[in-house]
Amino acid sequence: MKPIRNLLEKLNLTPNNLAYYETAVTHPSVHGDEVAPSKDYERLEFMGDAVISFVVAELAYLLRPDLDQGKMTKMRAHLVQSKALSAHALKLDLGSYIRVGASIRANQNQFSMRLYEDVFEAFVGAIFIDLGYDVVKQFLVEIFKDEVINFNIDMLADYKSELQEAIQAERRDSVYYVVVNESGPAHARIFSVECRYGNLVLGTGVGETKKEAEQMAAKEALAKKAV
């Protein structure tokens, strides 16, 4: 286990109280496995979770005027989900700094994604408590700014379901999708799909997978108010 001060130096963070960061990388098993009780990261995790959610929401509002409330909510949920936060923890190499009890130490190379997520949130909480909002915001902006700017909301949308619901609200029949063209090499196929209702083409879409192309076809049908 590396001293957490090393990570702070890499990130150009000068702590006022190093104990916060040491606590942020201390797993609850330390408290349970060792004779001397020790603080763990759970309270800081609570704080960090709230700070991350707020900063990402602020970035979404300021940087994505093209998104309405519902889409901003979906984007935020995607960017702060467990898988995403654990990936950021791995990028920071937080696993090298986590302090665990004997019951986990033997399998330290098998840390769960949830553990990485928890420690990342706790580390953010430590920065906030120790150095304040402006510092932790800058830290998080560097991590999330490009993700917010470049986020493709279409990857979360279910235009097919939305279209189907619109169709069935008026009619009993269903739309269906037909691949009308495939191009490109085997490892990078491009699919063109038509969304049809009976013999009527409601929309067309292109994507790197059939599923993506179908979603784009449904999106076009909804945009054209074909239903």
| Residues forming the active site | 49, 121
Residues 6+ apart with CB under 8 A from 118: 41, 42, 45
Using alpha carbons, select from 87, 96, 75, 146 the residue that is nearest to residue 120. Answer: 87
Tokens of 68: 């309405």
Judge contact between 103 and 29, C-beta under 8 A. Answer: yes
Residue that has been written with the tokens 């995403």 in this structure: 84
Q: Cα separation of 11 and 119, whole Å?
A: 16
Q: How far apart are CA 31 and CA 120, in angstroms?
A: 19
DSSP 197: E
Give alpha helix (H) positions in 94-132: 102-105, 113-131
Quote the CA–CA distance of 3 and 12 in Å, as a whole number: 15
Q: Is 153 exposed, middle or buried (0-12, 13-18, 19+ CB in 10 A)?
A: middle
| Structural tokens at position 135 | 């510092």
Can you tell me the distance from the alpha carbon of 227 to that of 166, in angstroms, rounded to the nearest whole number? 7
